[in-house]
Amino acid sequence: MTNALLKMHPVKSLGWVTLTSLLVLALGVVWDNWGDLLGPQAPNTAVTAPATEAEIEQGRYLALAGNCMACHTTRGGTPFAGGRRIDTPFGGVYSSNLTPDPETGLGRWTAQDFWQAMHRGRSKDGRLLTPAFPYNHTSVITRQDSDAILAWLRTLPPVVQAQPAHNLVWPVGTQPALAVWRSLFFEPSPFQVNKAQTAEWNRGAYLVQGLGHCAACHSPRNALGASGAVNDLSGGLMPVVNWYAPDLTRDTESGMASTPLAEIVRLLRTGASNTAQTSGPMGEVVQHSLQHLNETDLQAMAVYLQSRAQSTAQPTAKTPPARISLQVATQGAKVYENQCLQCHGERGEGVKTASGEVAYPTLAGNRAVLLNDPTNLVQLVLYGGYGPATQGHPRP
C-alpha cells in the first residue's frame, strides 16, 4: 500500500493520506464517545427509596454551592426554570429547565439520567450537552451528591418552560462537532482523595474543583473555548464578559499565599476583607453562592486555595511598570483629582468606617490596580466597583 501511494501523482497521494487521516480521526472520535453516541440507555426500572429530609436539604445546599440558579434562571423569571441565554464566543446557549415538569423539565428523569448529565455531559435523550454546562467540573462530584441535588430539585414547583434552541454558529453545537471537542478536551474527573493532605484540604479541593467550578473562570481558555483542568487556577481573561480572573496561585495577583486564612474566609463569605473586595462575576458568585455556605466549607476552601498558592513558586523580580508619557500622567492626575480623590483620598489611601469596615477601597498598592492586565480597572471605571450585598457586608 505504501509503495503504491509513493508511485501515485503527488496530489493524489496527498489526497489519500488526508482521507486516511480523517478516517482514523473519525474512528478515534467514535471510539472515544462510543457510550455517548449509542444514545439513551435502557430505562432504569429499579425501585429507589424516597429521599430523606436530610438528603433533600443536602441537595439544596449543594445547589447553592454550585450556583446553579445563576445560569438556570432568566432575569426576573422563576428560579431553576431555565431559558437564560449564556453568551459564548460562538453564539448563545440557553439553559435547561431544572424543575420537575414532566414535559419540559426533569420530571421524567431518573437518578441515573441526572448522573449521566453531571458525570458525562449527556442528556436523558442521549444528546451530548454543550460545554457551557461545566460538566468537566460536575464530573468531579460523587454519585451521592448528584442524587441529593436531583432529590431537592424534585421538590420544586414544576414550571412549564421549554428550553429555547441554541443560537450557535455552524458547525459549533452539532453532535459531531461536540463529539470531536469532547475527544480533545473532556475526560470525566471523579474526585481523588489526596492521602498526603488533611480531610479539610480534601474537602476544599472537592468544592473548588467540583461544584465551585473555580477553574471555569480562573484558568485560560483556548481558541475552541476549552478551559484548563479542573484544578487549574492560573487565571485568564473571561470571554464575552471581559473580566480578568486573577491567578489564584500567584500572591501578587490574589494574595492567597500571604493573606491570613481568616481574611480569605471573610472575603469568600462577605465579598470584602481588610485587603480585598470582590466585584464583577466574582461578586455575583459571593452574592448567590458562597455567602450561603457554612463556615466549615468556606474554611476548607480557603485552606486548599492558600495551600495551592503557598506551594507555587512565586516570581522574585517585579515586572517593570509600563512607560507613561508625562502628558498622559498629568491628564490622569487631573481626572483623579476631579473624580476620585474625594472618596479614595489624595494618595489613594481609601476610607474606613469607625468599625474598621472598608467604605472606599485603598487604591495605593491595591493588587487590582497593580495587575499587568488593566481589564478589570477599565470595567470598574466604566460600570462601577460595588461589591456584593451580603449578610456580613450589607452596605457595599
C-alpha cell at 147: 442524587
Q: Does residue 104 carry a pLDDT above 60?
A: yes
Would you place residue 24 in the very low, low, confident or very high pLDDT band (cuts 50, 70, 90)? very low
Average pLDDT, the chain: 87
DSSP alpha helix (H) spans, 210-325: 251-254, 261-270, 280-288, 295-310
168 with 87, same domain? yes
With residue 136 as reference, give the H or E element that holds it: helix 135-138
61 with 178, same domain? yes
Helix, strand or coil, per DSSP, at residue 185? helix
300 with 235, same domain? yes
- Check residue 272 and give its pLDDT: 85
- Check residue 239 and give its pLDDT: 92
Q: Is 395 within a domain?
A: no
Q: Does residue 145 carry a pLDDT above 80?
A: yes
- Find the range with the poorest average confidence among 23-32, 54-63, 218-227, 374-383: 23-32
Would you place residue 231 in the very low, low, confident or very high pLDDT band (cuts 50, 70, 90)? very high
CA atoms of 108 and 162, how far apart (whole Å): 14
Would you place residue 320 in the very low, low, confident or very high pLDDT band (cuts 50, 70, 90)? low
C-alpha cell at 112: 441515573
Q: 270-301, pLDDT tens digit by residue?
A: 998 887 889 899 999 999 999 999 999 999 99
Q: Does residue 73 carry a pLDDT above 60?
A: yes
CA atoms of 291 and 289, how far apart (whole Å): 6
Which of residues 310, 339, 356 is at a domain's end?
Answer: 310
Residue that the C-alpha cell 473580566 belongs to: 243
- Check residue 35 and give its pLDDT: 55
User: What is the average per-residue pLDDT within 237-241?
Assistant: 93
Q: Is 357 within a domain?
A: yes
211 with 258, same domain? yes
Q: Is 317 within a domain?
A: no
27 with 89, same domain? no
CB 181 within 8 A of CB 132: no
What region does 8 belong to: left with phi over 0, alpha with psi -120 to 50, or beta?
beta
103 with 219, same domain? no
CB 301 within 8 A of CB 204: yes
287 with 335, same domain? no
Q: Is 48 within a domain?
A: no
22 with 110, same domain? no
- Find the range with the poorest average confidence among 88-92, 233-237, 310-314, 323-327: 323-327
- Check residue 316 and give its pLDDT: 66
Q: Does residue 45 carry a pLDDT above 90?
A: no
Residue that the C-alpha cell 481609601 belongs to: 350
Q: Does residue 200 carry a pLDDT above 50?
A: yes
- Check residue 319 and give its pLDDT: 60
User: What is the average per-residue pLDDT within 209-238?
Assistant: 95
- Check residue 396 and give its pLDDT: 61
CA atoms of 327 and 323, how far apart (whole Å): 12
Q: Reading across the β-sheet that carries 167-168, which strands appear in turn?
A: 85-88, 91-94, 167-168
Query: Where are the extended beta strands (E) located within the chain?
Result: 85-88, 91-94, 167-168, 236-237, 244-245, 351-352, 358-360
Please name every residue paired with 237 in a beta bridge, in sequence order, or none if there are none: 244
Helix, strand or coil, per DSSP, at residue 83? coil
User: What is the average per-residue pLDDT within 205-226?
Assistant: 96
CB 376 within 8 A of CB 244: yes
C-alpha cell at 86: 449564556
Query: Which residues lie below 8 Å from residue 131, measured CB to CB, with a gap of 6+?
Result: 121, 178, 181, 185, 186, 225, 226
CATH number at residue 351: 1.10.760.10
Q: Does residue 46 carry a pLDDT above 60?
A: no
| Higher pLDDT pick, 324 / 8 | 324
User: What is the average per-residue pLDDT within 199-218?
Assistant: 97
- Find the range with the poorest average confidence among 119-133, 168-182, 234-248, 314-328: 314-328
CA atoms of 247 and 220, how far apart (whole Å): 10
CB 116 within 8 A of CB 198: no
Q: Is 179 within a domain?
A: yes
Q: Is 305 within a domain?
A: yes
Would you place residue 7 in the very low, low, confident or very high pLDDT band (cuts 50, 70, 90)? low
Total count of residues recorded for the chain: 396
157 with 233, same domain? no
- Check residue 369 and give its pLDDT: 87
125 with 70, same domain? yes
Number of other residues whose CB lies within 10 A of the CB of residue 89: 12
Q: 341-390, pLDDT tens digit by residue?
A: 999 999 988 888 777 777 788 888 888 888 888 899 999 888 887 788 88
- Check residue 314 and give its pLDDT: 77
Residue that the C-alpha cell 428523569 belongs to: 109
Which of residues 310, 337, 359 is at a domain's end?
Answer: 310
Q: Is 213 within a domain?
A: yes
Which of residues 162, 185, 208 is at a domain's end?
Answer: 185
- Find the range with the poorest average confidence among 7-16, 50-59, 127-136, 217-226: 7-16
CA atoms of 396 and 287, how far apart (whole Å): 12
With residue 114 as reference, give the H or E element that holds it: helix 111-120
- Long-range contacts formed by 355-361: CB under 8 A, 24+ apart: 356/274, 357/272, 357/393, 358/272, 358/274, 358/277, 361/277, 361/385
Would you place residue 18 in the very low, low, confident or very high pLDDT band (cuts 50, 70, 90)? very low
Q: Does residue 184 carry a pLDDT above 90?
A: yes
72 with 126, same domain? yes
- Check residue 317 and give its pLDDT: 56
Q: Is 135 within a domain?
A: yes
Q: How many domains does the chain have?
A: 4
179 with 279, same domain? no
Among residues 306, 121, 376, 117, the alpha carbon closest in space to that of 226 is found at 121
- Check residue 292 and give its pLDDT: 96
User: What is the average per-residue pLDDT within 26-31?
Assistant: 46
User: What is the average per-residue pLDDT within 22-49?
Assistant: 50
Q: Does residue 173 carry a pLDDT above 70?
A: yes
- Long-range contacts formed by 216-223: CB under 8 A, 24+ apart: 216/134, 216/137, 217/245, 217/281, 217/282, 218/245, 218/246, 218/247, 218/248, 219/245
* Full domain range(s) for residue 365: 328-383
Number of other residues whose CB lies within 10 A of the CB of residue 136: 24
C-alpha cell at 49: 427509596
Burial class (CB in 10 A: 0-12, 13-18, 19+), 356: exposed
CB 351 within 8 A of CB 345: yes
- Distance between alpha carbon 217 and the CA centroid of its chain, in Å? 5
